[in-house]
Structure 1
Amino acid sequence: MRDAVGSFVGWPSDLIFPDAETPTRPTHKAGKGISRHIESVASKKEVPGRKLKSAGKDIPTTSGTKSQIMMRLEKMVEESDIMHGAIRSIDFDEGVFGIAHFEIIAKEDMQQLFEHDELGIAVIHTYIWYMYVTLMRGTELCNRFNFIAASRINATLITKNPTSVKNDLVDRFMAADDNTTPSLYFLPFNSGNGGHWVLVAMDLSRLIVYYLDSLSGDWSKYPSMKKTVDAAILKFRSKKNYRNRKDITWVELSVLSKTIRSIADFLY
């Protein structure tokens, strides 16, 4: 962290939330899998569902200056029935994750944003859905990028049944048409230990996997994840009768890497 002081990272202004104080990060015990508010409603079969917070309670926020878009969003939520226990259901078409999907957004999901808390799967998925709808749908970007649902591929599920997770990943790869195979598949991967997220991007044609972790370290922290991803890629290529001419290469990306800046420049 000391080495990062003074560094500059380009970032969309609407996603910057300057605060006068840093919120306290809740602690979680290791080995419990994905924490309660990390788990998605769409995967209740794996982890018991969430309970909504008590109705009518104001959403606490950290003090300090907030972006205009965040203040508008907070005001909209405070004036809505979400504050009284209502929920919103978001339907995902097959273009987002390769299968029909839905998410439930409730008060506690909004709290994660306003309090700068650990983001749950529902929030991550909803952001991906919004990005897909506003930037990708109906454009050639759909032929270059695809997303993998975090509720189907995460550390908790790999521990329980790695073969099933591998097959789900292969099915996601197979969902793309032969003529529109995306160059990159993005997987937001939850470590299941305190809710930490990493990003895994898979280039199936070049057998390269890019790994981005906001904390120090590389994919060796999650050997079961790497083993599952590698096995899924090789099985997919075998089913497609592609020749595996080389081993799968994993590349660790830094936040300031040229690749990340190029992706950011392209999207924004």
Structure 2
Amino acid sequence: MRDAVGSFVGWPSDLIFPDAETPTRPTHKVGKGISRRIESVASQKEVPGRKLKSAAKDIPTTSGTKSQIMMRLEKMVDESDIMHGAIRSIDFDEGVFGAAHFEIIAKEDMQQLFEHDELGIAVIHTYIWYMYVTLMRGTELCNRFNFIAPSRINATLITKNPTSVKNDLVDRFMAAGDNTTPSLYFLPFNSGNGGHWVLVAMDLSRLIVYYLDSLSGDWSKYPSMKKTVDTAIIKFRSKKNYRNRKDITWVRVQCPQQNNSVDCGFFVLRFMRDIIALNRIDIPKMYFEEYKSYSRAHLDEMKDELCQFIVDQRII
């Protein structure tokens, strides 16, 4: 992947040009006209209180074609200053990652979406924001599902400072409050240096960690990640004075598998989407009967959802 996961870019104040026409919204803030001179790194199911909306319900998405909403957004991007190096800066709801989060969207991020390319961290974050706003916010699902920002927990940062990453993970657990009832923490984990995406889903109350990888293999490929997760869970339970009544159990889920070299990020997003839509804390080892495999249409559906969300939020 082109995005360097875990890097942070500081933007000089003289590169920021406020746009008076940018609409204000109660849930987030979009900054426009920020010149980007260096690369930053950055099946419709019903759930309680929310429904997944079809982004392009009048034009079904088929493999190899672009939907009406995607073509509309692509035209908006082509006609914007993003094509000339500008970026968009977005403040997410604090509920998304348990703390304030600032995201940067640029041309290459949009191109990943339009061209079905390897996903970088900005698109992963933004689709997570979409799921939070569309499926979870204001419902009991916020007590059942939590997201961990992969910009803060990834292989690159673990290599540089494992103690800091572990403490960040503990802080995320603490921010959610009560963890004595079953809930899942989703960690989209990147192997570093533009590498592979996998999903780690943690149930702190039952000491179960689900591992979902759209390629063959298990967590043994990432021993530092497993060690970080295990030690963070133990430290969290110690701070809460919970008894460690048993060892942490890792479960490799037989999830849908990708058949190319670019879909891992899309699969990780789809895993989270389906688990939330089905409102399931327990993930079957053989995955869900409803989703034994993912077609290109399943992935295109997510892209259309995100395109519609970006248009609705007036990010461009």
- Normalised to the residue count of structure 2, the TM-score between the two structures is 0.59
2: distance between equivalents of 1:263 and 1:205? Answer: 32
Unpaired segments ≥5 residues, structure 2: 251-298, 311-316
Change in Cα spacing, 1:200 to 1:30, as seen in structure 2 (3 Å) is: farther
Matches within 5 A, 1:109-258: 109-178=109-178, 183-250=183-250
- What's the CA shift for 1:258? 21
1: distance between equivalents of 2:152 and 2:40? Answer: 10
Change in Cα spacing, 1:258 to 1:210, as seen in structure 2 (3 Å) is: farther
- What's the CA shift for 1:178? 2.6
1: distance between equivalents of 2:37 and 2:46? Answer: 14
- What's the CA shift for 1:85? 2.2
Using the TM superposition, name which of 150-159 and 112-121 deviates more.
Answer: 112-121
Task: Identify the structure with bigger relative contact order (alpha carbons < 8 Å, sequence gap 6+).
Answer: 2
- What's the CA shift for 1:69? 2.9
Change in Cα spacing, 1:16 to 1:199, as seen in structure 2 (3 Å) is: farther
- What's the CA shift for 1:21? 40
CA contact (8 A) 2:36 2:86 kept: no
Unpaired segments ≥5 residues, structure 1: 251-255
2: distance between equivalents of 1:83 and 1:95? Answer: 31
Change in Cα spacing, 1:241 to 1:36, as seen in structure 2 (3 Å) is: farther
Using the TM superposition, name which of 129-138 and 258-267 deviates more.
Answer: 258-267
Using the TM superposition, name which of 75-84 and 212-221 deviates more.
Answer: 75-84
SS of residue matched to 1:257: helix
**Greater than 3 Å deviation, 4+ residue runs:** 1-64, 179-182, 256-267
SS of residue matched to 1:211: strand
Change in Cα spacing, 1:7 to 1:63, as seen in structure 2 (3 Å) is: farther
Change in Cα spacing, 1:88 to 1:19, as seen in structure 2 (3 Å) is: closer
CA contact (8 A) 1:41 1:50 kept: no
CA contact (8 A) 1:41 1:122 kept: yes
Q: Deviation per CA, 1:81-108, whole angstroms, max 9, x where unpaired? A: 2222221111012211111011110111
Change in Cα spacing, 1:133 to 1:33, as seen in structure 2 (3 Å) is: closer
Q: Deviation per CA, 1:142-183, whole angstroms, max 9, x where unpaired? A: 000010010110000101111111110000000012389770
SS of residue matched to 2:185: strand
2: distance between equivalents of 1:52 and 1:82? Answer: 29
Change in Cα spacing, 1:99 to 1:10, as seen in structure 2 (3 Å) is: closer
Instruction: Report the equivalent of 2:52.
Output: 52
Change in Cα spacing, 1:51 to 1:147, as seen in structure 2 (3 Å) is: closer
Q: Pick from 235, 254, 262: which aligns with 2:305? A: 262
Question: How many percent identity over aligned positions?
Answer: 92
RMSD: 15.6
Using the TM superposition, name which of 223-232 and 113-122 deviates more.
Answer: 113-122
2: distance between equivalents of 1:18 and 1:83? Answer: 18
CA contact (8 A) 2:198 2:214 kept: yes
- What's the CA shift for 1:212? 0.6
CA contact (8 A) 2:7 2:41 kept: no
2: distance between equivalents of 1:218 and 1:27? Answer: 38
Using the TM superposition, name which of 46-55 and 156-165 deviates more.
Answer: 46-55
SS of residue matched to 1:146: strand
CA contact (8 A) 2:44 2:53 kept: no
SS of residue matched to 2:200: strand
CA contact (8 A) 1:52 1:85 kept: no
Q: Deviation per CA, 1:124-143, whole angstroms, max 9, x where unpaired? A: 10111111111111111100
How many correspondences in the alignment? Answer: 262
- What's the CA shift for 1:20? 43
- What's the CA shift for 1:111? 1.2
SS of residue matched to 2:29: coil
1: distance between equivalents of 2:185 and 2:103? Answer: 21
CA contact (8 A) 2:60 2:67 kept: no
1: distance between equivalents of 2:73 and 2:89? Answer: 17
Using the TM superposition, name which of 112-121 and 232-241 deviates more.
Answer: 112-121
CA contact (8 A) 1:188 1:200 kept: yes
CA contact (8 A) 2:33 2:86 kept: no
2: distance between equivalents of 1:172 and 1:5? Answer: 19
Change in Cα spacing, 1:130 to 1:13, as seen in structure 2 (3 Å) is: farther
Change in Cα spacing, 1:41 to 1:20, as seen in structure 2 (3 Å) is: closer
Change in Cα spacing, 1:80 to 1:9, as seen in structure 2 (3 Å) is: closer
- Normalised to the residue count of structure 1, the TM-score between the two structures is 0.69
Q: Deviation per CA, 1:208-243, whole angstroms, max 9, x where unpaired? A: 000111111111100000010000001101111111
CA contact (8 A) 1:40 1:103 kept: no
